[in-house]
Structure 1
Amino acid sequence: MVKVGISDVAARAGVSEATVSRVLNRRGAVAASTRRVVEEAIRELGYDRGTASQLVVVLTPELAQPFFGRLCELIESALAPQGLKAIVCSTTIGGFQEIDFIRSTADLGIAGVIFASASNTLVGADPAVYRLLQKRQIPFVLMNGAIEGSQAPSFSTNDRVAAELAVDHLWRLGHREIGMIVGPVGNRPSDRRLEGFIAAMRHRGVEDPDKLVAHQVYSIEGGMSAAETLLDQDVTALVAASDYMALGAIRAARRRGLSVPDDVSVIGYDDSEIMAFVEPPLTTVRQPVERIAQSIATAMVHLVSRRNVPRGELLFDPELIVRSSTGPLRDR
């Protein structure tokens, strides 16, 4: 059997051998349409790429939530033009699925791994999965949580800025009794949002903002429970660590006969597309998911191609999206 070479692929695709080489090695700029033609020629001719894998595992929690579904979609779309294919694995934060997924896929051959707000968000998480990847020399990229002792590139929303944006908005509306609904202790993004909230409130002269904080799980039910605790303290506004928590807070307020935003203002976090269509449309802090996803994909492509990538954590500023769930403080 005659071995298929780069020249054969180039001839079938109608491009130069240099272009085929750039596609195979993921180096240099190649138009998406040209890349598709080359990839099709590779498949038709059965060209052997060697041992290089095209598969990238994306580990992420809660795909049922629109934000994470959108994030994975964007990462997958950004990797595809570079000849990489994403395998999305939904995991339970702190569970055993991550190490199981990595062990099974690493045996099949993978190019890299993306931890998209997975175990890397937990303080004190079991480092076994990262050690396994380092041992097998499989590169990985992190989102919303850098790992101590690891040089893997990390891309995160600046959660301290997110909290400042929310507090500043409510303060300007006249609110002073502002409550904060956050996730479990030890969740890095949640801890950062809490630090930002405490700093923002103290900067504005609030002596003991810690008493206005309630920890709960990231869910609608968690938001409801935390809101009940804070509404008992007569807060006039609530800042939630996720959009789903914010929806839970709105439900809790309504069950007390309170109106949002007339009696209680509520701010979420993430800005899933559907939040513009809930009632009332949710004021929220938007994570720059498009820019983060593109940066993650670019870093992964460079790592797979054995190119240098800046180490450490890169922070992206969020944006406050004002809708109808916040309003001026009213006399009670």
Structure 2
Amino acid sequence: MKLEDIARLSGVSRSTVSRVVNDDPNVSAQTRQRVLKVIEEHNFAPNLAARSLVTQRTRMLGIYIPYLVGNLFSDPYFPTFIQATTARANEQDYDVMLWLKGNADSMDHLRRRVLDNRMADGLVLASTPRHDGLIQLLLERGKTFILNGRPWEHEDSINYVDTSNVRGAQQAIEHLARLGRRRIATITGRIDLNSGYDRMIGYRRGLEDMGFKLDPRLEVEGDFTEVSGYLGMRKLLPERPDAVFVASDHMAIGTLRALREAGLTVPDDIAIVGFDDMPFATLANPQLTTVRQPVQRLGYLAAEGLIGLLEHTITAPYQVSLPTQLVIRESCGFPA
């Protein structure tokens, strides 16, 4: 069934049907009701591409995550974020498309696919590395987007949702120091990601605030994967730390494995604090003390903010930083 058929059955012009389909306010309530009744009776569904030519909108959001599919879904952070973003978008009658890096993709090719695609009204950029050029290209083209994570540049003008990563890491170090730990090491996340960089800064500030000197031998860079947590802990073992702040729960699982292999006990020999509070943190042995960040809330607010910007109900810049919470479990012991 075409617009002309709806118009004939409704007794109105084709242009009036088009205005009803596209929610034009310049249609009387009586006419709108008559047209909608015919549409419902005949299960009419307007073609998305045709409608977008009229409205210049697709009601589609894009999520850009520049990681390989295998890496993405091995860590529950991104599935949790994607699920929350999609759920909020669907509540607002938006659909979501996902851009990931294929095995054969170069980063330039992935960015080009995103830029040349006209289906998405706006974009959510998740965990974008420091030198990813997509942000600058989007700014130059005037595209509407929001970052999951504080931007490296243009912080006063770019839309973003983030967690208080610096403060969360400081809380972890303060807790370990109060427990009497004196050689507190860290396995950082990727330093070219703001989450990894900020948690490293929080670690250093926490040590300084507690009166400790920084020791570069106690810092090892990871990449948020379980393997990097395992390898990072093995590098730290010769330095004999009595505590380790690990910048993600996923890496902390690898850290625990390395310590078991070395015959060390957690928390008696070495205390561990992670970051994220993923569901598996309570399944670890011992249960993982960690800094909780509200991942679902981040995804929800990313979609809500982007839609508000697109529909002009929110004024740019839209910027949110959510607090963290230290969740104390078995892996670092409890204060006396």
Aligned to 1:99: 111
Q: Counterparts of 1:9-88 in structure 2 under 5 Å?
A: 21=23, 41=40, 44-47=43-46, 49=51, 50=54, 51-60=56-65, 61=67, 62-88=72-98
Aligned to 1:272: 278
The verdict on how the C-alpha distance between 1:179 and 1:42 changes in structure 2, with shifts beyond 3 A counting, is farther
Q: Does 1:248 align with 2:247?
A: no
Q: Does 1:143 align with 2:148?
A: yes
The verdict on how the C-alpha distance between 1:188 and 1:18 changes in structure 2, with shifts beyond 3 A counting, is same
Once structures 1 and 2 are overlaid, which stretch shifts more, 188-197 or 202-211? 202-211
Offset from partner CA, 1:283-322 (integer Å, 9 cap, x none): 1111111222222111111122134434164321111122
- Deviation of 1:147 after TM superposition, in Å, equals 4.6
CA distance in 1 between counterparts of 2:42 and 2:264 reads 61
Aligned to 2:180: 174
- Deviation of 1:237 after TM superposition, in Å, equals 0.9
Q: Does 1:115 align with 2:120?
A: no
Letter in 1 for 2:85: I
CA distance in 2 between counterparts of 1:219 and 1:169 reads 25
Gaps of 5+ in 1: 9-16, 24-36
Letter in 2 for 1:301: I
SS of 2:147's equivalent in the other structure is strand
TM-score of the aligned structures, taking structure 2 as reference length: 0.79
CA distance in 1 between counterparts of 2:290 and 2:301 reads 23
CA distance in 2 between counterparts of 1:158 and 1:78 reads 22
- Deviation of 1:65 after TM superposition, in Å, equals 1.1
- Deviation of 1:2 after TM superposition, in Å, equals 4.3
The verdict on how the C-alpha distance between 1:170 and 1:46 changes in structure 2, with shifts beyond 3 A counting, is same
The verdict on how the C-alpha distance between 1:20 and 1:324 changes in structure 2, with shifts beyond 3 A counting, is farther
User: 1:146 touches 1:154 (CA, 8 Å); kept in 2?
Assistant: yes
Equivalent of 1:156 in 149, 153, 162 = 162
Offset from partner CA, 1:87-132 (integer Å, 9 cap, x none): 12234899345404303533xx211110011x2xx23x142x2344
Letter in 2 for 1:69: P
CA-atom RMSD in angstroms: 3.3
User: 1:140 touches 1:300 (CA, 8 Å); kept in 2?
Assistant: yes
The verdict on how the C-alpha distance between 1:52 and 1:265 changes in structure 2, with shifts beyond 3 A counting, is same
CA distance in 2 between counterparts of 1:52 and 1:43 reads 25
CA distance in 2 between counterparts of 1:98 and 1:168 reads 41
User: 1:198 touches 1:210 (CA, 8 Å); kept in 2?
Assistant: no
SS of 2:239's equivalent in the other structure is coil
The verdict on how the C-alpha distance between 1:43 and 1:218 changes in structure 2, with shifts beyond 3 A counting, is farther
CA distance in 2 between counterparts of 1:42 and 1:242 reads 53
Q: Does 1:324 align with 2:334?
A: no
The verdict on how the C-alpha distance between 1:171 and 1:142 changes in structure 2, with shifts beyond 3 A counting, is same
Letter in 2 for 1:160: V
- Deviation of 1:266 after TM superposition, in Å, equals 1.0
TM-score of the aligned structures, taking structure 1 as reference length: 0.80
The verdict on how the C-alpha distance between 1:142 and 1:296 changes in structure 2, with shifts beyond 3 A counting, is same
Aligned to 2:192: 186
SS of 1:88's equivalent in the other structure is strand
Q: Does 1:225 align with 2:235?
A: no
Offset from partner CA, 1:222-245 (integer Å, 9 cap, x none): 111211222211111111111121
CA distance in 1 between counterparts of 2:173 and 2:312 reads 43
Q: What is the percentage of aligned positions where both structures have the same residue?
A: 23
CA distance in 2 between counterparts of 1:320 and 1:171 reads 14
Offset from partner CA, 1:143-190 (integer Å, 9 cap, x none): 113152373311111111111111122122221111111023333211
Q: How many residues align?
A: 300
CA distance in 1 between counterparts of 2:84 and 2:232 reads 32
Letter in 1 for 2:107: G
SS of 1:266's equivalent in the other structure is strand
